[in-house]
């Protein structure tokens, strides 16, 4: 039986003694067995481990006094899927969607995953992702393409595409995800889910790395309700002083609608000056009308920053971080890696990263600081509470819609033959088509500001296209209050979809 309600609902059912954790875990495992052959959303199933943990939790629950049951973590006994990219569990295979790491079994559990378990969740498996999370679609050569439950001919997005497909289909009530350039918000937009990227420093990092693409990447989740998003954020947040980025804890105990009318800026332009689709414009205009009807003040405005330069700095970071990762992989394997070990996109980023100088890398990160200053100034100087724009430039793409031409593949394959500046031009060309499809999400990763994709708009064919709201650093509660108000006004559409096991 598919999960039609949110994770908070099933947590309440467990706490009330109506269902057991074992029952919910068995149900999720049956869902995966039935529907995963259609979706290819789940790469690893932790059947024995999950059932054992659920049984232990049920036995402990039954032996507790009522007051102790009430003091349990909010999501006690609820099944969850982790993303198969980072989010390591000690002793559990973690492939990152890559041939190079297809046999990697971490010896340590990441602090993020420890927090997930401390919140009461039972991990039942791991979800499909593109190789090393580099794409905005999920189609790794190792595990294959993920299909959207809304339309099996389409991809649910990346790099948290497997997570989005599993949640939208109701295989589990909640999934974890991560976002280094939109990888929570893009799949949320394509599948009609709620996708919050928290502020930099909000969610725990380490012990296997503390900077996550120099602070651009953050772990969190995809959800079906605003209350799940709020409850999970409260459960996972930390003030992690040993980490390079840290924020004060959110003190809000109960989520409510905004206590005053908000001033919300909106834009219908692309940060990289590419054409914005009619559907994306329609999504924003519909959101504007909803928000105005709720009493908020909408103005057309946006920060004046160079979006192209921002993306150029982002690709430089990707290259350097990929080169550093390949060095660690080589040390673990005891050999050099080659072109045949990885997908062409990974190879190109790796080799381009070796050509980026320390000076260029420092300048790229300094530009992120400049972007942060300019974006924070935009909110403060104009007394803007939130910034509204499309989450993606269209509905979920067809499979192979972003396939590279043979000419581009040839150049990327021979990237070592080109000068550093030419290599960066090739990296831009490699991403150009897919970036035009999803140009709205990356800047919040560079600035560290929170942003959320909300399922407000659907096309005539009932395909979702999300809108994105962003805020000043640390202001997730403002985002969630407006999302909660929209949800109460029945403006959000995050229901699961029915698919046939014979599709």
What sections of 255-306 are H helices per DSSP?
A: 278-293
Q: How far apart are CA 181 and CA 61, in angstroms?
A: 40
* Residue 71 CB contacts under 8 Å (≥ 6 apart), including other chains: none
Q: How far apart are CA 173 and CA 3, in angstroms?
A: 6
Confidence category of residue 502, pLDDT binned at 50, 70, 90: low
Residue from 498, 499, 496, 497 nearest 224 by CA? 496
Task: Give me the mean pLDDT over the 96-100 stretch.
Answer: 98
Q: How far apart are CA 390 and CA 302, in angstroms?
A: 13
Look at residue 501 in the predicted model and tell me its pLDDT. 75
* Residue 392 CB contacts under 8 Å (≥ 6 apart), including other chains: 157, 186, 189, 190, 280, 437, 438, 440, 441, 465, 466
Task: Give me the mean pLDDT over the 185-213 stretch.
Answer: 97
Task: Give me the mean pLDDT over the 399-408 stretch.
Answer: 97
Task: Give me the mean pLDDT over the 220-241 stretch.
Answer: 98
Task: Give me the mean pLDDT over the 28-50 stretch.
Answer: 98
- C-alpha angle with apex 446: 442 to 450, nearest 5 degrees? 80
Task: Give me the mean pLDDT over the 153-166 stretch.
Answer: 98
Taking 90 as the threshold, does the pLDDT of residue 427 lie above it?
yes
User: pLDDT tens across 289-298, in order?
Assistant: 999 999 999 9
Does pTM surpass 0.75? yes
- The two counts, helices (H) then strands (E), for the chain are 16, 13
- Could you please report the per-residue DSSP string of 344-389? HHHHHHHHHHHT--HHHHHHHHHHHHHHHHHHHHHHHHTT--EEEE
User: pLDDT tens across 459-492, in order?
Assistant: 999 999 999 999 999 999 999 999 999 999 999 9
Please measure the distance between the N-terminal and C-terminal CA atoms of the chain and give it in whole angstroms.
17
CA-to-CA separations, 83 to 40, 222, 288, 352, in angstroms, rounded = 13, 11, 33, 27
Residue 136, both tokens: 């905005």
* Residue 2 CB contacts under 8 Å (≥ 6 apart), including other chains: 31, 169, 170, 171, 496, 498
Rounded to 5 degrees, φ, ψ at 344 are: -60, -40
Q: How far apart are CA 136 and CA 155, in angstroms?
A: 10
User: pLDDT tens across 338-374, in order?
Assistant: 999 999 999 999 999 999 999 999 999 999 999 999 9
Across the chain, mean pLDDT equals: 97
Catalytic residues: 83, 159, 183
Confidence category of residue 67, pLDDT binned at 50, 70, 90: very high
Taking 90 as the threshold, does the pLDDT of residue 438 lie above it?
yes
Task: Give me the mean pLDDT over the 389-404 stretch.
Answer: 98
Q: Provide the pairing of β-strand 464-470 with 386-390.
A: antiparallel
Buried b (16+ CB within 10 A) or exposed e, 268-286: ebbbbebebbebbeebbeb
Look at residue 503 in the predicted model and tell me its pLDDT. 58
State how far Cα 405 lies from the chain centre.
28
Look at residue 290 in the predicted model and tell me its pLDDT. 98
H or E segment and range at residue 458: strand 451-458
Q: Provide the pairing of β-strand 79-83 with 122-127.
A: parallel
Q: How far apart are CA 168 and CA 462, in angstroms?
A: 14
Look at residue 12 in the predicted model and tell me its pLDDT. 97
Task: Give me the mean pLDDT over the 206-226 stretch.
Answer: 97
Look at residue 497 in the predicted model and tell me its pLDDT. 86
Q: Is 408 exposed, middle or buried (0-12, 13-18, 19+ CB in 10 A)?
A: middle
Taking 90 as the threshold, does the pLDDT of residue 499 lie above it?
no
Confidence category of residue 70, pLDDT binned at 50, 70, 90: very high
Taking 90 as the threshold, does the pLDDT of residue 241 lie above it?
yes
State how far Cα 362 lies from the chain centre.
26
Q: How far apart are CA 20 and CA 427, in angstroms?
A: 50
Q: What structural domains and CATH numbers belong to the chain?
A: 7-256+457-488 (3.90.1300.10)
Sheet strands side by side (includes 194-197): 42-45, 122-127, 79-83, 175-179, 218-223, 194-197, 451-458, 464-470, 386-390, 263-266, 297-300
Taking 90 as the threshold, does the pLDDT of residue 381 lie above it?
yes
CA-to-CA separations, 456 to 186, 193, 289, 382, in angstroms, rounded = 14, 10, 11, 26
Look at residue 495 in the predicted model and tell me its pLDDT. 87
């Amino acid at each position: 039986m598919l999960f039609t309600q949110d994770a908070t609902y099933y947590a309440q059912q467990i706490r009330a003694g109506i269902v057991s954790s074992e029952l919910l875990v068995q149900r999720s495992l049956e869902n995966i067995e039935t529907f995963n052959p259609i979706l290819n959303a789940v790469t690893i199933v932790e059947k024995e481990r999950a059932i054992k943990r659920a049984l232990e939790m049920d036995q402990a629950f039954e032996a507790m006094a009522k007051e102790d049951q009430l003091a349990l973590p909010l999501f006690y006994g609820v099944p969850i899927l982790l993303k198969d990219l980072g989010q390591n569990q000690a002793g559990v295979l973690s492939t990152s969607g890559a041939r190079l790491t297809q046999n990697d079994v971490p010896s340590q559990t990441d602090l993020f995953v420890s927090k997930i378990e401390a919140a009461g969740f039972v991990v039942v498996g791991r979800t499909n992702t593109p190789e090393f999370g580099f794409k905005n679609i999920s189609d790794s050569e190792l595990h294959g393409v993920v299909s959207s439950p809304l339309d099996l001919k389409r991809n649910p997005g990346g790099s948290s595409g497997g997570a989005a497909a599993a949640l939208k289909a109701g295989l589990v009530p909640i999934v974890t995800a991560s976002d280094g350039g939109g990888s929570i918000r893009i799949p949320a937009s394509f599948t009609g889910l709620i996708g919050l990227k928290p502020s930099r420093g909000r969610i725990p990092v380490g012990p296997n790395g503390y900077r996550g693409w120099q602070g651009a990447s953050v772990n969190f989740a995809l959800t079906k309700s605003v209350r799940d998003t709020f409850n999970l954020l409260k459960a996972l947040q930390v003030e992690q002083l040993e980490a390079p980025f840290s924020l004060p804890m959110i003190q809000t105990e109960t989520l409510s609608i905004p206590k005053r009318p908000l001033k919300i800026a909106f834009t219908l332009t692309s940060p990289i000056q590419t054409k914005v689709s009619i559907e994306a414009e329609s999504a924003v205009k519909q959101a504007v009308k909803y928000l105005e009807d709720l009493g908020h003040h909408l103005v057309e405005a946006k920060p004046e920053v160079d979006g192209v330069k921002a993306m150029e700095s982002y690709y430089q970071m990707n290259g350097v971080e990929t080169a550093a990762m390949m060095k660690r992989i080589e040390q673990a394997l005891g050999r050099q890696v080659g072109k045949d070990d990885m997908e062409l996109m990974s190879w190109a980023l790796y080799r381009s990263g070796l050509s980026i100088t320390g000076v260029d890398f420092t300048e790229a990160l300094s530009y992120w600081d400049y972007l942060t200053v300019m974006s924070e100034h935009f909110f403060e100087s104009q007394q803007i509470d939130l910034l509204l724009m499309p989450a993606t430039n269209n509905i979920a793409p067809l499979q192979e819609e972003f396939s590279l031409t043979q000419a581009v593949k040839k150049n990327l394959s021979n990237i070592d033959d080109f000068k550093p500046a030419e290599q960066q031009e090739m990296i831009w060309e490699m991403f150009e088509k897919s970036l035009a499809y999803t140009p709205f999400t990356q800047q919040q990763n560079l600035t560290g500001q929170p942003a959320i994709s909300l399922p407000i708009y659907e096309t005539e064919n009932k395909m979702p296209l999300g809108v994105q709201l962003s805020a000043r650093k640390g202001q997730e509660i403002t985002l969630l209050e407006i999302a909660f108000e929209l949800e109460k006004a029945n403006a959000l559409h995050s229901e699961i979809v029915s698919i046939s096991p014979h599709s």
